[in-house]
Copies of this chain bind each other. A is one copy, B any other.
């Protein structure tokens, strides 16, 4: 069998079908990023595509914000592998005409903003004509200690960085015709890829890691499937941005990290991440023998909310 086991969902069914068809020419589809040993280190590479009307709307965000967000989504996958950023390549699909050219420059400026913040460079790109704006970002980095989704063991604890719920709250506000609060809007339009935290966690024993892009429960499902463990998630423990709800359990595009750490890693160790990078690390669950994700609230089983499936 080729490919890395994935959680349920139609998009993942398609990835499984592709991995099966490609066979040995695609030995490891399904992780956040590919890891390729090269010249004494590991190249880490990932690609992430955003389409107007599916992943963003121009009436919600400026083109510069759209660019930041699209690049941050790709860079976040490097963070989940414990990699630093080298740079990005960008394919930009733009409708014809001068106005769209200006949109293209602004999108690229936003991509430049986040790439510079993460100490990388814009390495290259392609520009094509398309009906809608398309932004496809390939992020490249290197990792001395790459972390996959597949290393979690029974007994490991699950931790997550930051606080969830901001993007879901922003989307809910926009979808109902309103405007999100500034803090929630910021989490949506300017997510900060957790590159520094990912490197720190890789150096501090992370056994499996993923970025929360499909939704916490769905992404923990990927860790469970790839690692061959069950994940028990304590919904009460999930740190939420003040004023947001448990909808955050299924909220995608958070770009925080979920990480499996050995039992010996404790709150004192987590304080080190806060001290070094001003970022909370909160224990929310643990790995057990078995499979799947099992969510409890107040000690009682909670029906599992599903994550974002691009083809649902």
Interface residues of A, Cβ cutoff 8 Å to B: 11, 14-15, 17-18, 21-23, 25-29, 31, 33-34, 36, 38-41, 43, 45-51, 54-55, 86-87, 89-91, 93, 96, 101, 104-105, 108-109, 112, 115-116, 121-132, 134, 136, 138, 140, 142, 310-311
Contacts and interface: CB of A to CB of B under 8 A. Distances in A.
A5 to B, nearest CB: 15
A93 B128 CA distance: 14
A142 B31 CA distance: 23
B91 A121 contact: no
Contacts of A33: 124
A86 B125 CA distance: 19
A29 B128 contact: no
A86 B39 CA distance: 13
A123 B45 contact: yes
Contacts of A21: 105, 108-109, 112
B39 A41 contact: yes
A169 to B, nearest CB: 24
A36 B91 contact: no
A15 B127 contact: yes
A93 B49 contact: yes
Contacts of A127: 11, 14-15, 310-311
Given A93-B134, A124-B45, A130-B54, A105 B31 contact: no
A169 B121 CA distance: 40
B134 A17 contact: no
B89 A45 contact: yes
B91 A45 contact: no
Contact of A47 (B46, B51, B90, B108): B90
A27 B130 contact: no
A26 to B, nearest CB: 4
A184 B208 CA distance: 50
A63 B38 CA distance: 33
Given A45-B140, A47-B90, A25 B112 contact: yes
A280 to B, nearest CB: 29
Top 10 nearest A-B pairs (CB, nearest first) are A39-B39, A34-B123, A26-B122, A49-B91, A138-B138, A47-B89, A39-B40, A136-B136, A34-B124, A22-B112
Given A43-B43, A91-B49, A105 B14 contact: yes
